[in-house]
Amino acid sequence: MLLESLRRQVLHANQEIARRGLAPHTFGNASGIDRGGSEPLVVIKPSGVDYTAMTPADLVVTNLDGKIVEGSLRPSSDLDTHTLLYREFPEIGGIVHTHSEFATSWAQAGRPIPCLGTTHADYFHGPVPVTEPLTAEEVTEAYVRNTGAVIVRRFRSGNLSPVAVPGVLVAGHAPFAWGKTPAEAVEHADVLEYIARLAFRSILLQASESGIPPYVSEHHYLRKHGPKATYGQAKHG
């Protein structure tokens, strides 16, 4: 079986979507990429298959053009979004798409999530961005691929790093998150939902959308992700 280790990682990531309540029914999906072979290969959830019923063998392997390399089931309907993001963001190794309740609410409102506190700043270097809505032509021409295109366009226009900002809200749709691995992508999707919930409640309590002072958010982000990070334990060789 091709890419057995990555298949297990992607299966676990998909199961975590369900376990953490990040998508109802079979709405969400997770994928991972192996960039080490003669060509990059993506492992992704099959379309419409229940999380609890999936096995590593059910996962579909494709190349970055979406051509199936191994697998008998139809890949996720969001495959073209995943492959485009892998092509445009070479730093990432896993992608998770959810329909989690609060993050999706912000996406449906077409609003970015402001950085209102240090929980947010620990994971996202600035607000969680929201894309522009897809045009009628983009939907008709290639809806799934263009979903990825509007994400990339938002990051390019805002000069955003997909490493520093590991997720996005697709306007009128739902969130995508990513990371170095499928497991990290799930963590970022889970954190995104948590900070979306916190932000929603904070604004109900009349918090200012200008957020915490930049020097506070910068300090919190850098202490976890900067060159002199102090969060966690030192890594020993």
Report d(CA 37, CA 233) in Å as an integer.
32
The answer to whether the CB of 121 falls within 8 A of the CB of 223 is no
Report d(CA 40, CA 100) in Å as an integer.
29
Please choose, from the candidates 59, 22, 192, the residue with its C-alpha nearest in 3D space to the C-alpha of residue 124.
Answer: 192
The one catalytic residue among 50, 65, 78, 122: 122
The one catalytic residue among 58, 123, 194, 231: 231
- Is 123 catalytic? The answer is no
- Is 231 catalytic? The answer is yes
Catalytic residue ranges: 122, 231
